[in-house]
Amino acid sequence: IPRMSKGLPMKQKIPNVKRIVLVSSGKGGVGKSTVSVNVALALRSMGKQVGLLDADIFGPSIPKLMNLSGEPRLSEQGKLLPLSNYGIETMSMGYLIPAESALAWRGLMVMKALQQLLFEVQWSNLDYLVVDMPPGTGDTQLTISQQLKVDGAVIVSTPQDIALIDAIKGITMFNKVNIPILGLVQNMSYFVCSNCNHESHIFGTDGAKREAEKQKLELLGSIPLSEDICSQSDLGKPVVISHPESSIVQPYLDIARKII
């Protein structure tokens, strides 16, 4: 890794990738991977060439969400060739080792695997690489933020998460490493009844908006709590692909439009 005089690693680009967008969250289970996949597909639907990098080494979700499995082949240069579906190239630790294996890894092995995911993948010419980050603000997040020339980060949060200001820690980290924050996404914001389409704003309506204003961030979108989003994710057919005409897809398209 090239280093600057202060000993800090120099930020690098990923070969063939024009722009890198991180999707991050304060904690797990708030819908970060679901947002990553659907926003990546939304960008693709707008004619962009898109890659999706699953940087969650301990809990990779991209293979299941994108209905992909199997081992990546190697290019002639010995680089990992991405696996593709729905017009998007993807790379994940989930393709390389069984899910349980990484859990027993020491820090050094994790860092080696991360370097491979970041710099040893043979992407096609991509307009956007969407990086599904691990939750929180640990070593992996810091390494990515310090080593990659990132164009911006999207922070995903639920209304309660915002209340607990977990998301704020992520914002602080990105500020420290000079990564611009593109904005906040509020997931599971309100409930839409699948029978009558009534919207229930269970957690109130303005929490995220107020917090975004307080942090001087844009609220990129509010995504409803929806049975379809959950079940389609489980089937490996994200809603942007399976329900393109549905209103639940709109927030993902809005977020993609604001990122471009």
| Binding of ligand ADP by 223 (CB under 6 A) | yes
Convert 3-13 to b/e letters by CB count within 10 Å (16 or more is b).
Answer: eeeeeeeebee
Distance of closest approach, residue 93 Cβ to ligand ADP, in angstroms? 14
Q: 192: how many CB neighbours lie within 10 A of its CB?
A: 18
- Of the ranges 86-94, 139-147, 225-233, 235-243, which one interacts with ligand ADP (CB under 6 A)? 225-233
Q: 123: how many CB neighbours lie within 10 A of its CB?
A: 19
Residue from 33, 92, 141, 215 binding ligand ADP (CB under 6 A):
33
| Binding of ligand ADP by 158 (CB under 6 A) | no
Residue from 24, 49, 61, 215 binding ligand ADP (CB under 6 A):
61
- Of the ranges 11-19, 25-33, 81-89, 105-113, which one interacts with ligand ADP (CB under 6 A)? 25-33
Distance separating alpha carbons of residues 144 and 93, to the nearest angstrom: 15
Contact status, residue 130 vs residue 40, Cβ threshold 8 Å:
yes
**DSSP-derived pairing of the beta strands 199-200 and 191-192:** antiparallel
Contact status, residue 189 vs residue 224, Cβ threshold 8 Å:
yes
| Binding of ligand ADP by 229 (CB under 6 A) | yes
Structural tokens at position 9: 């690693």
Q: Applying CB under 6 A, what is the total number of residues that bind ligand ADP? A: 17
| Binding of ligand ADP by 226 (CB under 6 A) | yes
Q: Which residue lies nearer to ligand ADP by CB, 127 or 228?
A: 228
- Of the ranges 74-82, 113-121, 137-145, 223-231, which one interacts with ligand ADP (CB under 6 A)? 223-231
